[in-house]
Protein backbone atom coordinates (compact mmCIF):
# COMPACT_ATOMS: atom_id res chain seq x y z
CA UNK A 1 0.00 0.00 0.00
CA UNK A 2 0.91 3.62 -0.53
CA UNK A 3 3.00 5.47 2.08
CA UNK A 4 0.89 8.65 1.56
CA UNK A 5 -1.18 9.66 4.62
CA UNK A 6 -4.49 9.06 2.83
CA UNK A 7 -5.86 7.23 -0.18
CA UNK A 8 -8.10 9.61 -2.12
CA UNK A 9 -10.55 9.04 -4.95
CA UNK A 10 -11.28 11.86 -7.38
CA UNK A 11 -13.30 11.82 -10.58
CA UNK A 12 -16.66 12.71 -12.05
CA UNK A 13 -20.13 12.01 -10.68
CA UNK A 14 -21.06 8.39 -11.24
CA UNK A 15 -17.46 7.15 -11.42
CA UNK A 16 -18.01 5.08 -8.26
CA UNK A 17 -15.94 7.09 -5.77
CA UNK A 18 -18.23 6.28 -2.83
CA UNK A 19 -19.19 2.71 -3.69
CA UNK A 20 -15.70 1.58 -4.73
CA UNK A 21 -14.19 3.68 -1.93
CA UNK A 22 -16.15 1.84 0.78
CA UNK A 23 -14.87 -1.52 -0.48
CA UNK A 24 -11.27 -0.33 -0.75
CA UNK A 25 -11.40 1.14 2.74
CA UNK A 26 -12.54 -2.20 4.11
CA UNK A 27 -9.91 -4.08 2.10
CA UNK A 28 -7.05 -1.87 3.36
CA UNK A 29 -8.34 -1.21 6.89
CA UNK A 30 -8.74 2.52 6.29
CA UNK A 31 -11.45 4.76 7.73
CA UNK A 32 -13.92 5.63 4.98
CA UNK A 33 -14.75 9.33 4.63
CA UNK A 34 -17.09 10.77 2.03
CA UNK A 35 -16.56 14.52 1.67
CA UNK A 36 -20.16 15.25 0.58
CA UNK A 37 -21.63 13.23 3.47
CA UNK A 38 -19.23 15.01 5.81
CA UNK A 39 -20.55 18.40 4.68
CA UNK A 40 -24.13 17.18 5.09
CA UNK A 41 -23.44 15.94 8.62
CA UNK A 42 -21.73 19.17 9.64
CA UNK A 43 -24.46 21.43 8.22
CA UNK A 44 -27.50 19.21 8.74
CA UNK A 45 -28.48 20.07 5.15
CA UNK A 46 -28.31 18.11 1.92
CA UNK A 47 -25.91 19.12 -0.87
CA UNK A 48 -29.01 20.14 -2.86
CA UNK A 49 -30.27 22.42 -0.09
CA UNK A 50 -26.83 24.02 0.28
CA UNK A 51 -26.75 24.73 -3.47
CA UNK A 52 -30.27 26.19 -3.24
CA UNK A 53 -29.57 28.44 -0.26
CA UNK A 54 -25.93 29.43 -0.75
CA UNK A 55 -25.34 28.83 -4.45
CA UNK A 56 -22.53 26.79 -5.92
CA UNK A 57 -19.95 29.21 -4.49
CA UNK A 58 -21.27 28.61 -0.97
CA UNK A 59 -21.12 24.87 -1.47
CA UNK A 60 -17.55 25.06 -2.85
CA UNK A 61 -16.39 27.02 0.22
CA UNK A 62 -17.85 24.35 2.50
CA UNK A 63 -16.36 21.62 0.33
CA UNK A 64 -12.87 23.13 0.52
CA UNK A 65 -13.10 23.54 4.32
CA UNK A 66 -14.33 19.96 4.78
CA UNK A 67 -11.65 18.56 2.49
CA UNK A 68 -8.86 20.53 4.20
CA UNK A 69 -9.93 19.12 7.54
CA UNK A 70 -10.18 15.57 6.24
CA UNK A 71 -6.81 15.74 4.49
CA UNK A 72 -5.14 16.99 7.67
CA UNK A 73 -5.87 13.54 9.09
CA UNK A 74 -4.40 10.23 8.01
CA UNK A 75 -5.27 6.57 7.54
CA UNK A 76 -8.39 7.42 5.58
CA UNK A 77 -9.91 6.52 2.26
CA UNK A 78 -11.46 9.80 1.16
CA UNK A 79 -14.12 9.92 -1.55
CA UNK A 80 -14.22 13.52 -2.83
CA UNK A 81 -17.01 15.28 -4.70
CA UNK A 82 -16.57 15.54 -8.46
CA UNK A 83 -15.82 19.27 -8.29
CA UNK A 84 -13.30 19.14 -5.45
CA UNK A 85 -10.43 19.63 -7.90
CA UNK A 86 -11.73 23.04 -9.01
CA UNK A 87 -10.06 24.82 -6.09
CA UNK A 88 -6.27 25.14 -6.56
CA UNK A 89 -5.75 24.91 -2.78
CA UNK A 90 -7.61 21.60 -2.77
CA UNK A 91 -5.40 20.35 -5.61
CA UNK A 92 -2.26 21.27 -3.66
CA UNK A 93 -3.54 19.57 -0.50
CA UNK A 94 -4.59 16.48 -2.44
CA UNK A 95 -1.08 16.14 -3.86
CA UNK A 96 0.54 16.73 -0.47
CA UNK A 97 -1.71 14.56 1.66
CA UNK A 98 -2.95 11.78 -0.55
CA UNK A 99 -2.19 9.03 -2.95
CA UNK A 100 -4.78 10.13 -5.47
CA UNK A 101 -6.67 7.78 -7.75
CA UNK A 102 -8.63 9.30 -10.63
CA UNK A 103 -11.65 7.10 -11.26
CA UNK A 104 -12.60 7.52 -14.89
CA UNK A 105 -15.93 6.81 -16.55
CA UNK A 106 -17.39 7.55 -19.98
CA UNK A 107 -20.40 9.83 -20.30
CA UNK A 108 -22.67 6.97 -21.43
CA UNK A 109 -21.92 4.91 -18.32
CA UNK A 110 -22.39 8.03 -16.20
CA UNK A 111 -25.81 8.61 -17.70
CA UNK A 112 -26.77 4.98 -16.96
CA UNK A 113 -25.49 5.07 -13.40
CA UNK A 114 -27.11 8.44 -12.64
CA UNK A 115 -30.36 7.83 -14.52
CA UNK A 116 -32.55 7.73 -11.42
CA UNK A 117 -30.49 10.12 -9.33
CA UNK A 118 -32.19 13.39 -8.33
CA UNK A 119 -29.72 14.47 -5.65
CA UNK A 120 -27.08 16.15 -7.80
CA UNK A 121 -27.83 19.86 -8.28
CA UNK A 122 -25.70 20.21 -11.41
CA UNK A 123 -27.80 17.56 -13.16
CA UNK A 124 -31.26 19.00 -12.51
CA UNK A 125 -31.69 19.95 -16.15
CA UNK A 126 -32.99 18.37 -19.30
CA UNK A 127 -29.60 18.52 -21.04
CA UNK A 128 -27.73 16.52 -18.41
CA UNK A 129 -25.76 14.61 -21.06
CA UNK A 130 -24.36 17.88 -22.41
CA UNK A 131 -23.61 19.07 -18.87
CA UNK A 132 -21.72 15.84 -18.14
CA UNK A 133 -19.73 16.20 -21.36
CA UNK A 134 -18.77 19.78 -20.58
CA UNK A 135 -17.78 18.96 -17.01
CA UNK A 136 -15.71 16.02 -18.24
CA UNK A 137 -13.69 18.06 -20.70
CA UNK A 138 -13.26 21.06 -18.39
CA UNK A 139 -12.16 18.96 -15.44
CA UNK A 140 -10.03 16.23 -17.04
CA UNK A 141 -6.85 18.36 -16.86
CA UNK A 142 -7.54 19.08 -13.19
CA UNK A 143 -7.98 15.41 -12.32
CA UNK A 144 -4.82 14.63 -14.30
CA UNK A 145 -2.92 17.29 -12.36
CA UNK A 146 -3.56 15.62 -8.99
CA UNK A 147 -3.70 11.94 -9.96
CA UNK A 148 -1.01 9.42 -9.03
CA UNK A 149 -2.99 6.73 -10.83
CA UNK A 150 -5.89 6.71 -13.29
CA UNK A 151 -8.32 3.79 -13.31
CA UNK A 152 -11.13 3.33 -15.83
CA UNK A 153 -14.34 1.94 -14.27
CA UNK A 154 -16.30 1.73 -17.55
CA UNK A 155 -18.10 -1.58 -17.88
CA UNK A 156 -17.05 -2.77 -14.43
CA UNK A 157 -19.38 -3.58 -11.53
CA UNK A 158 -18.41 -2.06 -8.19
CA UNK A 159 -16.88 -5.27 -6.86
CA UNK A 160 -14.90 -5.88 -10.06
CA UNK A 161 -13.56 -2.33 -10.06
CA UNK A 162 -12.65 -2.48 -6.36
CA UNK A 163 -10.76 -5.79 -6.75
CA UNK A 164 -8.92 -4.69 -9.88
CA UNK A 165 -7.97 -1.37 -8.37
CA UNK A 166 -6.87 -2.94 -5.08
CA UNK A 167 -4.44 -5.14 -7.01
CA UNK A 168 -2.76 -2.01 -8.42
CA UNK A 169 -2.25 -0.29 -5.06
Site for ligand S3P in 38-57 (CB under 6 A): 47
CB 103, CB 15: distance < 8 Å:
yes
**Of residues 2 and 19, the one with the C-beta less far from ligand S3P:** 19
Binding residue per annotation — 36? yes
Binding residue per annotation — 16? yes
Binding residue per annotation — 11? no
> Quick check: 121 binds ligand S3P (CB under 6 A)?
yes
SS3 state of residue 4: coil
> Quick check: 36 binds ligand S3P (CB under 6 A)?
yes
Of 8, 9, 13, 162, which one interacts with ligand S3P (CB under 6 A)? 13
Instruction: Calculate the CA 86 to chain-centre distance.
Output: 12
> Quick check: 17 binds ligand S3P (CB under 6 A)?
yes
Pairing of strands 98-104, 31-34: unpaired
Site for ligand S3P in 77-116 (CB under 6 A): 81-83
From 69-77, 93-101, 103-111, 117-125, span contacting ligand S3P (CB under 6 A): 117-125
Please spell the DSSP secondary structure of 35-100, one letter per residue: HHHHHHHHHSS-HHHHHHHHHHHHHHHHHHHHHHHHHHS-SEEEEPPTTGGGSHHHHHHHHHHEEE
Amino acid sequence: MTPAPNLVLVGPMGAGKSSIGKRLAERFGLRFADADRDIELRTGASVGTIFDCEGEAGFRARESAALAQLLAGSGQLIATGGGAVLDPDNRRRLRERGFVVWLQVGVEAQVDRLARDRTRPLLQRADRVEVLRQLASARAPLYAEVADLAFDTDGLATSEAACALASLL
